[in-house]
Structure 1
Amino acid sequence: MPLSTKERILNASLRLFNEHGVDAVRLQQIAEEIGISVGNLAYHFKTKDAIIESVYEQVLDEFAHIFRQYLQAPELAAFDQQISLYYQFFRNYQFYLAEFFKTNSEQTSQQIQWQRAVNKMLMQLRSWLDFHVQRHIIRPETSLGQYDQLAQSLWMTLVFLPVFSAMRGTAVDERSYKQSVWDHLKPHLTEEGVDEFETLVLPTLA
């Protein structure tokens, strides 16, 4: 089924935002990207801010979809699938980091929403660790705050690895992305956890 003009506008905007940054993109560029007039574009989105708001709605909806995968199944394989979703997300929405760290005197509503989303992601990772400690898949903490630090390390890898790799001029594919996340977790697995990892997750990394 062909995309509607509105969907084509949003897809083109996302491509241009990723390539040039939100501030540098003009309505004329977006219109030219999909071969329509600025007047036709304005029929669907009267301002660039309206486009930005719709793109962010799309971003946050997809992020919420990833959250909903949390604990749908208890096995480590479910988390491995969630890592794949994060990989696709952070590859598709590269512009978000530049927007998040813009030095404005006041945060935009989009920045505030994104801040809430990434904080929720960090809390979910911490909760995930506790859940698998209870399952005897991950060892209990050996020192106070150990898994707070581990959750932060997982969060930073999931969020920043694609950008960090690009800054170094190296590519990160889905397999190496997932491997980097699991490298943080493997030292903390119990014997049961290692068995489950080798049975359910390792074959997907091979």
Structure 2
Amino acid sequence: MSDTKKRIREAALSLFNTQGLVNVRLQHIADGAGMSVGNLAYHYRNKETIVAALYQELSQQLRDLMKEFQIVPLFEHWNRQILQTYGFQSHYIFFFLDTLEIIRAYPAIGRSYRAYLHWQEAQLRQSLEFNVARGALIPPPFPEAYSQLARHIRASQDGWFTRRIICEEASLDQEAYAADTWSLIRPFFTPMGEREFAQIHLPLYDPTWLSQPGPSDS
């Protein structure tokens, strides 16, 4: 049964990613999985249960990644976490392109996702505060500065694919994703943070980006 369920989820994920959630019916998924609708319904009674299973996969992978990163959130580890987050989001891209439709249609998923977002922001804020304490980031320039930055990082990453597609920006690769995320953090670098950042091998799409001085250089 587990192999059959996996085949169903893989077929659904491929269709959701390429055609959009609202355009896919159970018949399409059954055809993609090579089975009848009745057989599919034995394993997943409706589309919501399939979406919920895919969301559970995604959220667990993202939580595990964030927990691993939190152990030692140095810049090198942070960059690895950013690139792996891109990988998970691109693999489940339908969820980030159709987020509003999903949480409206499936309230239980919406509640779970909102709880995850609050948890994610708290973890990001702790990582920022850790890097302030070790001297890689400047002290907060105003109250709640790093709470706001954590929120901006989360919003930028979760809405990244939608924004790039709407604006018809050519690059949807991890280099652009990493560069956009780091561009939010770099204004808070100390000279120590700049030196550490310069030692990371970043897959950036703009080779001149690293050479541009940040505020801490002035």
| TM-score when normalising by structure 2 | 0.82
| Deviation digits for residues 142-161 of structure 1 (CA, Å, limit 9, x no counterpart) | 22222222222212221112
Q: Which residue of 1 aligns with 2:25?
A: 26
Kept after mapping to 1: 8 A contact 2:79/2:202: no
The offset of 1:106, in angstroms, is 8.4
In the comparison of the two structures, how many residue pairs are matched?
Answer: 203
Identity within the alignment, %: 28
The offset of 1:94, in angstroms, is 2.4
Point out which structure has higher relative CO (alpha carbons under 8 A, 6+ apart): 1
Q: Which residue of 2 aligns with 1:173?
A: 173
Kept after mapping to 1: 8 A contact 2:16/2:24: yes
Q: CA 1:147–1:120 in 2, change beyond 3 Å: closer, same or farther?
A: same
SS of the residue 2:21 aligns to: coil
Output aligned runs, 1:36-185, within 5 Å: 36-97=35-96, 99-102=98-101, 108-170=107-169, 171-185=171-185
CA RMSD of aligned residues (A): 2.4
Amino acid across the alignment from 2:152: S
The offset of 1:166, in angstroms, is 0.6
How far apart, in 1, do the equivalents of 2:40 and 2:69 lie?
38
How far apart, in 2, do the equivalents of 1:166 and 1:16 lie?
18
Amino acid across the alignment from 2:167: R
Range moving further from structure 2, 41-50 or 132-141: 41-50
Q: CA 1:37–1:61 in 2, change beyond 3 Å: closer, same or farther?
A: same
The offset of 1:96, in angstroms, is 2.1
SS of the residue 1:142 aligns to: coil
The offset of 1:55, in angstroms, is 1.7
Q: For structure 2, which runs of at least 5 residues remain unmatched after alignment?
A: 208-218
Q: For structure 1, which runs of at least 5 residues remain unmatched after alignment?
A: none
How far apart, in 1, do the equivalents of 2:13 and 2:60 lie?
15
| TM-score when normalising by structure 1 | 0.87
